[in-house]
Chain A
Amino acid sequence: MTTAARAEDICASPPPQLVTMSGAINRALRDAMTADPDVVVFGEDVGTLGGVFRVTDGISRDFGQDRCFDTPLAEAGIVGFAVGMAMAGFRPVIEMQFDAFAYPAFEQIASHVAKMRNRTAGRINLPIVIRIPFAGGIGGVEHHCDSSEAYYAHTPGLKVVTPATVEDSYSLLREAINDPDPVVFMEPKRLYWSKGSIESVLAATKFASFGRAAVRREGTDVTLVAYGPSVEVALQAALAAAESGWSVEVVDLRTLVPLDDETMVASVRKTGRCVVVQEAQGFAGVGAEIAARVQERAFHSLHAPVLRVAGLDIPYPPPKLEHLHLPDVERVLDAIARLQWDDDTDTRFLPSDSKGGAT
């Protein structure tokens, strides 16, 4: 009796139960399937096995083969099948097993999933969620670690969602399944085992809204804009930067389409400096779009050019070298250090013969 009473004194409420991101996504699928009988899940190995990352663990068993089923191994077929199922009134949530395995489906995604509403003057909408485990950091071999978000974000008609937290993975997936339009839901696979609580979002009456970035850490000197797997890197960098006296704000975009210009620009107007952190190869990537938008919308608040810290423009490297490719705290700190904190001219991009000449 005394033990129980004492425990109650010490801890007024029980500690929040922690779940992994894969568990949170599993829960979101189950809750969505319970809420709406038209929600169906299919793809490769999502049935009996529960998915190669176990995201659909037990769903086929608990909801039956009609609601969660394996398909032939053909990604274009899976996406095209989902188009037809959606036309018949279902809300398919389909899995592309890995980022690079989704490429055979690209024509279906770009030519049909993204365009059906437009091609039919709004008479046919496709409430399809295409789940794609993406990006690296898990020591995966070739074709298993691509950051493919820019392809989708570049395609009009697709919403692109990149959760960075366990809570968001639940809330944004529920919102994606409710959305009347197709959503490419990109799950950072290195975060599948990260843990968090989803109790508050389970209790909430509303899911996270698309197009609303989150300020994950407040600061006054510089804004780091990140999404998906890079948010954690940005937060660690912010922590490290604080030791050097920089107060760093971290903006998590959460959804790339729609993009929350407002929140990131408001942050940069306040801090006057901006670094975009993305794991994807940098050239022609989402980070370039963000840098351009921040620059054109907050130019007069900027004390320095917007910099990008991104993956290298190389095919994803072998496991033992991936740390050299992935943006890390050091690279983010280096970028922050280059943000014109003094009045010296930045000579980095001057032709070599004029370097040092400028004062």
Chain B
Amino acid sequence: MPTPLEAATLTTDTSTALPQAASTDRSFARGLMPASMPVQFLDHLGHRVQVFNDDYPEPSSQQLVAAYRAMVIGRRFDIQATALAKQGRLAVYPPSRGQEACQIGSMLALSPDDWAFPTYRDSMALVTRGLDPVEILAVPHGAAHCGYDPRASRTAPQCTPLATHLVHAVGFASGEKRKGRPTVAMAFVGDGGTSEGDFHEALNFAAVFKAPVVFLVQNNKYAISVPISRQSVAPSLGYKGIGYGIASEQVDGNDAMAVLAVLNKAVAHARSGQGPVLVEAHTYRLDAHTNADDASRYRDSAEVEDWLRRDPIPRLETWLRHKGLIDDAFVASVADQGEAFAADVRKRMAVDLAVDPMSLFDNVFATPTPQLLEQRAMLEAELEAEEASR
């Protein structure tokens, strides 16, 4: 069995070694229009359905098996992080349990040179990308920065102000295109974020400059407590792309096969120079907004139970077992990998993060201003006096 970190690396390696979907047709059959119902390959019981998936080639077996493993490890990480937040090891943690198909599918659809522009709720996606889980959790762990190296990991810092990073993804993708590099940017946003002005400015800029961006809207039905019905009355959030001239789609966000199929095509479409794609993935946030939130104040347990029946992991597992692509031994091994991964996170997060107070001045500017140097000296003297008086 691989060690936890090897498992994480393996997951990434598997994803990066995968061929892109074997589609030669990169345009969308309905032009800008999303399907009238979410694209679905597997129903909630894991049965293959053929209704709204005609445009999309089925993802490869390799990609589906990798997705299954990444979803299991991702969920175990998410549960562990939630526990760490409840224990006070993390200041806060915004979980994404239930959204595994979106989290994992988005990353497996990308090539290693592509960039991700995630939000604070996309930690599972970053685990799938192969980032160090302790670095992913750096901010709630108390670090003064995002934890990981965005350039090395080709992943922008997790963004908190909603939708503001979407325009960065557009500028970045446009810049990469101008430099002649075939990079695609995957930009994450939630249902609440689609109400922000920056979401609309990002879509419009992306369309006007034909930027190779895939906008993935994870519609998990709630913006903290506010339901989707209060955000928008559009038939699908995917419809918001049409007015900007963006090819748009909606997909069952708990069906990993469908998410991969749609995003494989979206990434290929963006990479081929045909411009951005907007994808709404219908999913559900099974947990509260964060550990500080009480979801029982705004939704009842029957609703949550209903969504539990649409869990993305057993759905894909059923299909993969049915096709003989995985067996009991594989499932057990992946579960073990998840446990080992979580144990490693637990162990490493048990250590308090030491932040050098002096480092707070290091990255305000390349060269600190005289005023910052004065303040730095003041703080240093205070800390030395404190130390001396102990």
Contact = CB atoms under 8 A, between A and B. Distances in A.
B169 A84 contact: yes
A258 B369 contact: yes
Contacts, number: 137
Contacts of A125: 366
A80 B170 contact: yes
B27 to A, nearest CB: 24
Contacts of B174: 81, 84-85, 88
Interface string A184-207: 000000000000000000000000
Given A118-B363, A123-B151, A76 B179 contact: no
Interface in A117-137: 117-125
Contact of B175 (A71, A85, A156, A180): A85
Contacts of B197: 76, 104
A118 B145 contact: yes
A112 interface: yes
Give the bracket for the number of chain A residues in contact with chain B: 35 or more
B205 A82 contact: no
Interface string A77-97: 101111111111110000000
A39 interface: no
B175 A87 contact: yes
B364 A84 contact: no
A71 B2 CA distance: 50
B178 A112 contact: no
Given A74-B205, A76-B201, A258-B371, A117 B171 contact: no
B137 to A, nearest CB: 15
Contact of A84 (B145, B170, B201): B170
Contact of A117 (B165, B167, B179, B363): B363
Closest 6 A/B residue pairs (Cβ): A84-B171, A80-B167, A88-B175, A77-B201, A84-B172, A81-B171
13 contacts: A80-B165, A80-B168, A84-B169, A88-B179, A107-B161, A111-B164, A117-B366, A120-B145, A121-B144, A121-B146, A180-B366, A258-B369, A259-B371
Given A85-B171, A86-B175, A121-B363, 20 more contacts: A72-B204, A77-B204, A80-B198, A81-B167, A81-B170, A81-B174, A87-B156, A87-B172, A87-B175, A88-B172, A107-B161, A111-B164, A112-B164, A112-B165, A123-B150, A123-B151, A125-B366, A157-B364, A157-B365, A259-B371
Interface of A: 66, 71-72, 74, 76-77, 79-90, 104, 107-108, 111-112, 116-125, 156-157, 159, 180-181, 211, 257-259, 261-262
